[in-house]
Amino acid sequence: MNISLSEHFNFKKLFRFTMPSIIMMVFTSIYGVVDGLFVSNIVGETAFTAVNFIMPVTMILSAVGFMFGTGGSALVSKTLGEGDRDKANRIFSLVVYTTTAAGVILGALGIALMRVVASALGATGEMLDNSVLYGRIIVGVLPLFMLQMAFQSLFVTAEKPKLGLFVTVLSGVTNMVLDALFVAVFRWGIVGAAAATAASQLVGGVVPLIYFLRKNSSLLRLGKTRLDWRVLGKTCSNGSSEFVSQSSMSIVNMLYNTQLIKYAGEGGVAAYGVMMYVNLVFLAIFIGYSIGVAPIVGYNYGAKNSAELRNIRRKSIFIIVATSVVMLAVSELSAEALAGIFVGKNPELCALTARGFRIFSLSFLFAGINIFGSSFFTALNNGLISALISFLRTLVFQIGAVLILPLFLETDGIFLSVAVAEIAAFVLTVSFIVAKKKKYNY
């Protein structure tokens, strides 16, 4: 039975509504890790380093899709809460069409400039060739990748989170099966890994388009719309925090790679790559919950239901704090095992990765509230505060930490930087949540 946005949410109902989004994001992260597993264990460490090296570039481009999805979702859910379904569908259609057009333009630019960017970041020789090859294949399907990112939020707003989960699982299974076929059986190397990912994004982008273009049982359907710069501006403003978060993380990852090459060589980049894969899966729980709960917040904000806003805020903070504690314990206990999955053949690199992950995992204790806080203000259509939290958390605090801490702690300082940045962002996020209680009456 479907749960509507207008209902009162107890813990059980909140879990039921958000769980598909959580599973969807976790599964997305896991099948994203599959490329790394196949490349590191079959193709080799140089290719694995190249994939990790160029990945931030492709993620910056795809972050535009996440921005349109989360920003558009906030505006659509608010409009639904106000009772204007026709307007909500026009906004939804405009967001999807604009995402597609932006993907075509950015994809073309990405293909043309990939070698220039990779070279400027410091890649040389075989690593440069592998980075460019992998990157160009991925951005070749960028419009579909951006749509996949956008629909992760829009499915929830359409009250179809389970359908969004189904599409994600279908996309993920496509990636994993083709990875095994292209890399392990056909031995296509890094090309096979990239082709498998591209095929999965084809599924993740096209299937939702077909669903929403046809008559369906959700709240939303693609149809006629008109260019409305005010709506697009509000969409970008609402989703700017998610764009800032995604792109800033990618920029910072490039800086981390530069610092790691300086202090620990290519092995340091490989170790950090493993941490990022695991980090994607762990943080996906917080991101998935925030995506799942955001339309509820947006709907009740539009409907001026302050009591339900307070209910959602209190329950969400409790859930996230409890999850953060469990996540920290699990990561500390499983550091060696997680490192061994990727780099177990190299004992020295495995030890470096496990040590780094133990230091790095302190960030999980604070990251959940920061991710939720940014998403919460996006849902309240306050893009400024949401973007400020994300900008300082993922860019300013991390850049400061990764430049300063290694001067005193060397490689350990690089691994500690994320935790220090999350602590600073936690103080900021909690301050904003407390300060804006009266304005939004949550």
> Which pLDDT belongs to residue 14?
93
Total tally of structural domains belonging to the chain: 1
Q: Domain of residue 346: give its range.
A: 11-440
Alpha-carbon gap, residue 56 to 307, rounded angstroms: 41
Helix 397-409 and helix 411-435: axis angle, to 10°? 150
The amino acid sitting at 388 is L
CA distances from 77 to 4, 107, 117 (A): 12, 29, 38
If the chain, 442 residues long, is cut into consecutive pieces of 10 residues, what is the mean pLDDT of each piece? Answer: 83 92 84 74 79 83 90 91 92 97 96 93 85 95 94 90 89 91 92 92 95 93 94 88 75 79 75 80 92 92 93 96 95 87 79 89 95 93 87 89 91 91 96 93 88
Phi, psi of 188 (to 5 degrees): -80, 0
Residue whose structure tokens are 């230091």: 359
Asked if 332 contacts 357 with a C-beta cutoff of 8 angstroms, the reply is no
Model pLDDT, residue 127: 84
DSSP structural state of residue 185 = I
Residue 332 counted as domain residue:
yes
Q: Is residue 51 part of a domain?
A: yes
Answer whether residue 1 is part of any domain. no
Inside any domain, residue 6: no
Residue 32's pLDDT is 67
* Rounded distance between C-alpha atoms, residue 151 and residue 46, angstroms: 34
For residue 3, tell me if it sits in a domain.
Answer: no
| Tokens read off for 112 | 């043309």
Q: 2 in a domain, yes or no?
A: no
